Every structure is written in structure tokens, then in C-alpha cells.
Structure 1
Amino acid sequence: MTQPITPCMWMDGTAEEAATFYVSIFEDSRIDSISRYAADSPFPPHFKAGTAMLVTFTLKGRPFAALNGGPQFPQTEAVSFVIPVEDQAELDRLWDALIADGGAESMCGWCKDRFGVSWQVVPHRLLEMQTQGAAEQNARMGNALMTMRKLDIAALEAAFAGEAA
């Protein structure tokens, strides 16, 4: 059996804290393993002995890894993780957890957590409307979406239907 492709997030000393945070907010999630830097580690950036080097974890059944590699490669919005959600309550819960304690809202359903990792919290309903709607419905919905930070499913549905907000 082949192994799945595993995204690895480069961190600067926060890999274990980040993985612990992520598994706390997503169902069906766990820390799988942690390897730690030794006192005589030949690997830069020479973190203190015992600091997590590589944390492997599972989020919603998908494998991830976080590597404490140092400050050379900070997180960027060029890579983000899409979180499909069923309803507004789930969207609100995850959004609020991700932006808490130093995270930040962005536009169109994107946010950044306190570790600098970018996420897109996207309702299944949005994807359904995008694939099933006529051009004018999708244009109205797209215009509404462009004004939002955290997505509002009811407002997107109203725009899609041509109803005044």
C-alpha cells in the first residue's frame, strides 16, 4: 500500500504547539508521532535538546507534518488548507478557533492562525451553488462573497437567489 502525500508545514519552534492546537479543533484528529532534537544534533537551527523536530499528525483523517526548521521559511498565503464545512455553526466554530490568540481574518473565507498558516473555511453549499448556478446567480453570489471576511451562508444563498440582503 502506498502512503498518501503528506503536507509538511515549516515552523520556527512551534511545530508541537501548532499540531496540538490543530488536533484540538478538528474531529477525527490525533498526534501520531514526535521526534525530538538531540543535544548534539547536527541539524540547524540547533534548537534546544528535547524540542520537537518533526511532529506527524492526522487532521480529519488526513496526514500532516510540522517540522521545526527555523526562521528561514515563514508561512505565506501562497499555500492554504481548505476546510469544507456543513453549516454556519461549524464554519463559525472553526473560524473563531483559527483566528483566536493572534490569528487574523482575511477576505473571502480565508484566515490565518496564530502560527501564520492560512486556511479557507468553505461551506459545501457554496461549492454546490458554484457548480449548479447560472452565470448571473454565480455573479451575484461572487459579488457578495468578495465583500465578506468570514463567509455568511445565508447571505450567499440570498445573493444567489437574487434576494435583497
Structure 2
Amino acid sequence: MQKITTFLWFDDQAEEAAEFYTSLFADSRVVDVQRYGEAGPGPEGTAMLVTFELAGQRFLALNGGPHFRFTEAVSLYVDCESQEEVDELWARLTEGGGEESQCGWLKDRYGLSWQIVPRVLGELMSDPDRARAGRVTQAMLGMKKIEIQGLLDAARG
């Protein structure tokens, strides 16, 4: 078992969110659902705590009520190997009420922030040729969903 686990607070969508998130990534599954009993505080039989894994990493999701909301101060960063992976995750995570932001950031329909980033971005931004890296950075700053071809074009000048 991993020592540190990300704990996510939802109003009442923890089980739905966990099922959605696990549908996006290989090696993902809902591990356990603990339900509220007679004593509550949630309605009896509804999910209280959902344990799930995304790409082998464990998360906990609580249906804790409307007291707390997600902010951009915390996000899930996804290292993508290809434009196809970026495109698919971007489309799936923004569908149903998600919001696009800048520089590969988005919020899903539950309000959780994600960074959907192609691996090549880090490689290009750390190029020893600082002018080249700067062009890539400027290109990325003008994007919502990151487009690999646009980064490569900027790198070439």
C-alpha cells in the first residue's frame, strides 16, 4: 500500500466521479465503496468513501457535502505520450460541464483541476538553447489544450 494517498472531497458525486475517472486510464479500478448506514450523516446506502486506483495510484473520495470545493491550487498532472492521448483525455474530461483553461489545464465536470501535458513539452522547455525553449514557452502560453505540432513549430522558429 502506498504511504501517501490523495484524498478528494466531493459533495455527493464521489462514486460517480471514481467510476468516470477509472474509465479513462488503463490499470484503474474502483477498489472499495463504504456506504453510509442508519447513523448517517449521509442518506443510508449512499456512498460515503470510495477507494479507487488510477494507473495504479490509489485515491480516496469522500461524499462530505457541499462545505468544501476544489480549487486550482491542487491538480492532477497527466504525462501524455502522444497528441492522441492529450486529445482523448481533454475531450473526455471537459465533456458534460468541464471547463478548458490555459496551458493544458482544465476542470472536469466535478470541478477537479487536471493538467493534460504531452511529455515533449518538458523536453522542449528544458532545451539548452534558451531561445528555442523560450519560443516553446511562448507558444504553450497561448494554448488551452496543448498541441504538440504547435510546440514543434515554435521550437524550429
Which residue does the alignment assign to 2:47?
Answer: 52
- In the alignment, the residues of structure 2 paired with residue 4 and residue 99 of structure 1 have an alpha-carbon distance, to the nearest angstrom, of 31
Which residue does the alignment assign to 1:86?
Answer: 81
**What amino acid sits opposite 1:127 in the alignment?**
G
Per-residue deviation, 1:146: 0.8
- In the alignment, the residues of structure 1 paired with residue 132 and residue 118 of structure 2 have an alpha-carbon distance, to the nearest angstrom, of 17
Which residue does the alignment assign to 2:106?
Answer: 111
- In the alignment, the residues of structure 2 paired with residue 152 and residue 126 of structure 1 have an alpha-carbon distance, to the nearest angstrom, of 9
- In the alignment, the residues of structure 2 paired with residue 26 and residue 93 of structure 1 have an alpha-carbon distance, to the nearest angstrom, of 11
Deviations 1:8-29 (A, max 9, x none): 1100000000000000111110
Stretches of structure 1 lacking an aligned partner (at least 5 in a row) = none
- Whether the 8 Å CA contact 2:125–2:134 is kept in 1: the answer is no
- Give structure 1 regions of 4+ aligned residues with deviation exceeding 4 angstroms: none
Alignment of 1:12-91 (within 5 A): 12-41=11-40, 46-91=41-86
Stretches of structure 2 lacking an aligned partner (at least 5 in a row) = none
Which residue does the alignment assign to 2:9?
Answer: 10
From 113, 117, 123, the equivalent of 2:118 is: 123
| Alignment size in residue pairs | 157
Deviations 1:60-79 (A, max 9, x none): 11111111111111111110
What TM-score do you get using the length of structure 2 for normalisation? 0.96
Alignment of 1:118-157 (within 5 A): 118-157=113-152
Which is worse superposed, 3-12 or 81-90?
3-12
